[in-house]
Chains A and B, each alone.
Chain A
Amino acid sequence: MLKGQLGLWSSGTIVGIFCLFGFIAPLVDYSAQDAVNQRERQFCPPAFVDATPEQSRSCPKPTGSFFGTDHLGREVGIRLFKGIQAVFFPGCLAAILAIFIGGLLGAVGGYTQGALRAITLGLIRIIDTLPRMVFLILVCTIFRPSITLIAVVAGILSIPTVATVVRVKVERLASEDYILAHIAHGFRPVKILLYHILWLQCRSVLIRQASFIFGYIVFIEAALCYLGDYGVQEPQPSWGNMIAQAKSYALMSTWPWLFPSLAVMVTIAAFMAFGNVIANRDEGAKR
């Protein structure tokens, strides 16, 4: 696990940039850079690579793009940037969905007794047994796939992970003295559950899970695009469909698939690390 300031700053920067771009990307008009110009700008190399004589004829250096161009002559850089937009809000949606429902189910499952508990735990177990990728493909077969649908289903499939973590925590807390004291003081159970247990005690766990789920959405979008174009649809760019398209031309030009792949990799790692670091700090501060 990442410890200390370095982990926080490195992962935090990446996550911060990602979120910032996610918000400002919809405001940017990119039609000029996204124009198709196959004849002249196909597979221009990135600015930091020396172009072959043949390429430099068609890709003039001053307008040469930093990340190169793809098979249609579109700028890879601006598409990387706009690609964040495609997964940002779906990612938020999935994370919120999973955190709210998962947190609630976990708390109910951990706090209550009897039939309610059995039903809640059963529901969590059932969702947990569905293999995620397989179930997502099933859903994409039956419904017309869209990134929102994928995010909702992925969010629902992430509920058990959140719920289990919360339930374990709640079970441990419910028998602790100060919670018992709250009960004895006549606080309403709902308030104890939502405020004292979920917010005060499970906050760090939930943040960590939200961060993981966000990373998972980035992953699943890219994976489903790769497997069968189920993710974000062209011409709207997303990292997944950039990789999926560039893979056909992988032997002609490395750059169009390399950058989105790296972006996916780094982003997922950063979200994982960020979740862990924040959770650890939060827990450390409490102790």
Chain B
Amino acid sequence: MFVKKNIQTGLVGLLLVLATTSISHAQVFAYPEDTRPSSLLPFFADDMSAVRMVELIFDGLVFKNKRGDFQGALAKDWTVDPDNRGIRFTLREGVKWHDGRPFSAEDVVFTVNAAKNPKTIFTGSGKFNFIAAAKAEGRNRVYFSFRRPVTDPQARFVFKIIPKHKFNGTAINRRDAFSRKPVGTGPYRVTRFTLRQITLEVNQDYWSPARISRVVMQHTPDKAAQVNLLQYSGGKAGVQAVIFLPPKNIPLFENSDTIALEPYHTVSWWYVAFNHENKALGDPVVRNAIVTAIDRDELLQANLGRGDILTGPFTEASPFYDFDIEMREPDSEQASEMLQRAGYVMKDGVRTKGKTKLSFRFVLDKEMPEQQSLFLGIQAQLKKVGIKVDPLYLDHAAYKETVWKREKYDLTLNVWSFEEVEDVRPLFHSSGSLNFINYNNPKVDQLLDAAQSAADYKTYKRQMKALHALVHKDLPYMFLWSLDVYSGISKRVRKVFIAPYYYFTTFREWELKR
């Protein structure tokens, strides 16, 4: 028996040695991601996993440091024209692309021209609109002229620079092979790109080489698996960080010796969208009743954990959030009464008014965390007031197709994430590009138009607060909550600073203690 056990131990030990030899010696920072980056070409890095990865591979002219100031990356220095109509960058010398070619001003000009080429179709193209022209002045200087005066223009030059010699012209296709074999100037270069893993090695030629020699991104769609890996490996072997810890798992790490909880700032909120094409949901009374019927606090506490319940399309940290707006208290009786008064009477357990039945199709994305239990909670709460919802669970691709493209849904649950502050115009303006709910409210349009042409920030802020009040009343969405955002990072990792949105901006300073 004893011998047998030893043999077993030996065998499994051998397997483990095989499994772990390759990682025990190198300085590896491994982290899981929910989604696979769709493209590592900076223009097309739409999903958050791609944004984070691109941050490690590419450089912009400037970056925002820990203190929130802009500091040169590829640019050494810059001077803004006195009339704020142009900026001249002096570039860092001796910078090389990962393939060994020298970096020059031509690449910067190429990047801007490619972004401004109408044949390069990408979501962030609006960020380049303010530039009228880019001109290289020798190898190490670039001059940008603007369409209109811009204050603090350097803040707009965080976009990543791509190499001219890798493209045949400025019209860049999303399907360019570069998206899987990127060549940047950043602190890391891609050495291996497979379906499950992307491996990055440190770029020794970088002007300020990173401390950690290898970064491994592993595609791990299962959030529970991510948490398990962090929890059980204790941050020693295995993964060193989980980008976003679901709030309900936070207590697992609160008194941990090995894992540190790192809060960071993101601008994102959850919502249930109403399809306003649906006749019943087009009726504000029904929307109001639905929001009144649902106990958002209970849903949040039971399924996700800590967060703030919202009254409008802004997070509580946002400058536009109006704290004077009073939250609707959940009250299913009041909701029933509202519906009754509006003429929706109970018929076979479902409220009906004429031919309109309060029976809806709730479309859910399987990749959303906790969508299933959230839906079941919502379903149970709505049933009490006589509203029936039937689920349709779709995988991510089919979800996007059904909800955003074909708009074949009545209700859906999702999250919006924003870069710095909430830009809600595309969501609620009747011509907005993200207005998949078919929302059309002249008052809201008017307000958004006025805000867009606002002369100064103060007016803009006032108008956004007015918008907050308006949508709170009219309810284009049911606004749910914003979550407390924490990363779980191994305590072996030192000098951690998580940049908002881009996450890895200062990663080259992070250290990994053995």
Q: Which residue of chain A lies nearest to B374 when distances are taken between CB atoms in the complex?
A: A36
B377 within 8 Å of A (CB atoms): yes
**Are A251 and B391 in contact, with the CB atoms below 8 A?**
no
B431 within 8 Å of A (CB atoms): no
A19 within 8 Å of B (CB atoms): no
Q: Which residue of chain B lies nearest to A229 when distances are taken between CB atoms in the complex?
A: B366
The 3 closest A-B pairs by CB, nearest first: A248-B224, A36-B376, A38-B302
Cα distance, A225 to B444, chains bound together (Å): 44
**Are A72 and B376 in contact, with the CB atoms below 8 A?**
yes
**Are A235 and B376 in contact, with the CB atoms below 8 A?**
yes
B372 within 8 Å of A (CB atoms): yes
Known: A36-B376, A72-B373, A72-B376. A248 touches B225 (CB 8 A): yes
Cα distance, A144 to B228, chains bound together (Å): 32
Which of B232, B373, B380, B395: most chain A Cβ within 10 A? Answer: B373
**Are A38 and B395 in contact, with the CB atoms below 8 A?**
no
Complex contacts, B228 vs chain A, CB 8 Å: 251
CB-contacts of B378-425 with A (<8 A):
380, 391, 393, 395, 398
Cα distance, A144 to B391, chains bound together (Å): 15
**Are B372 and A39 in contact, with the CB atoms below 8 A?**
no
**Are A234 and B391 in contact, with the CB atoms below 8 A?**
yes
- 18 pairs of residues in contact across A and B, judged by CB atoms under 8 Å: A36-B373, A36-B377, A38-B373, A39-B302, A71-B373, A72-B373, A72-B376, A229-B393, A233-B391, A233-B393, A234-B391, A235-B391, A245-B372, A248-B222, A248-B224, A251-B224, A251-B228, A251-B232
Complex contacts, A249 vs chain B, CB 8 Å: 224
Total A-B contacts with CB atoms under 8 angstroms apart: 37
CB-contacts of B225-247 with A (<8 A):
225, 228, 232
A189 within 8 Å of B (CB atoms): no
**Are B380 and A36 in contact, with the CB atoms below 8 A?**
yes
Complex contacts, B197 vs chain A, CB 8 Å: none
Taking chain B's interface residues, is the majority helix, strand, or loop, or is none over half, making it mixed?
helix
Smallest distance from the beta carbon of A205 to chain B beta carbons, Å?
Answer: 40
Complex contacts, A229 vs chain B, CB 8 Å: 366, 393, 395
Q: Which residue of chain A lies nearest to B231 when distances are taken between CB atoms in the complex?
A: A251
Interface size on B, residues (CB 8 A): 19
Which of B232, B376, B377, B395: most chain A Cβ within 10 A? Answer: B376
A228 within 8 Å of B (CB atoms): yes
Which of B223, B225, B301, B302: most chain A Cβ within 10 A? Answer: B302
Q: Which residue of chain A lies nearest to B376 when distances are taken between CB atoms in the complex?
A: A36
**Are A234 and B393 in contact, with the CB atoms below 8 A?**
yes
**Are A234 and B224 in contact, with the CB atoms below 8 A?**
no
Starting from the known contacts A35-B380, A36-B376, A72-B376, 10 additional A-B residue pairs (CB-CB under 8 Å) come to: A38-B302, A38-B373, A39-B302, A72-B373, A228-B395, A235-B372, A235-B376, A235-B391, A248-B224, A248-B225
Smallest distance from the beta carbon of B369 to chain A beta carbons, Å?
Answer: 10
Complex contacts, B377 vs chain A, CB 8 Å: 36
CB-contacts of B147-187 with A (<8 A):
none
B303 within 8 Å of A (CB atoms): yes
Cα distance, A234 to B366, chains bound together (Å): 10
Cα distance, A235 to B372, chains bound together (Å): 8
Cα distance, A228 to B224, chains bound together (Å): 17
CB-contacts of A151-172 with B (<8 A):
none
Complex contacts, A234 vs chain B, CB 8 Å: 372, 391, 393
Complex contacts, B398 vs chain A, CB 8 Å: 144
Which of B224, B232, B380, B395: most chain A Cβ within 10 A? Answer: B224
Q: Which residue of chain A lies nearest to B366 when distances are taken between CB atoms in the complex?
A: A229
Contact with B along A252-274 (1 / 0, CB 8 A): 10000000000000000000000
Q: Which residue of chain A lies nearest to B375 when distances are taken between CB atoms in the complex?
A: A235
Smallest distance from the beta carbon of A133 to chain B beta carbons, Å?
Answer: 18
Q: Which residue of chain B lies nearest to A40 when distances are taken between CB atoms in the complex?
A: B302
Complex contacts, A36 vs chain B, CB 8 Å: 373, 376-377, 380
Cα distance, A230 to B302, chains bound together (Å): 28
Cα distance, A72 to B228, chains bound together (Å): 19
**Are A38 and B303 in contact, with the CB atoms below 8 A?**
yes
Complex contacts, A235 vs chain B, CB 8 Å: 372, 376, 391
Complex contacts, A248 vs chain B, CB 8 Å: 222-225
Cα distance, A36 to B225, chains bound together (Å): 23
Cα distance, A245 to B223, chains bound together (Å): 12
Q: Which residue of chain A lies nearest to B383 when distances are taken between CB atoms in the complex?
A: A31
Cα distance, A245 to B391, chains bound together (Å): 17
Cα distance, A235 to B303, chains bound together (Å): 17
Complex contacts, B391 vs chain A, CB 8 Å: 233-235
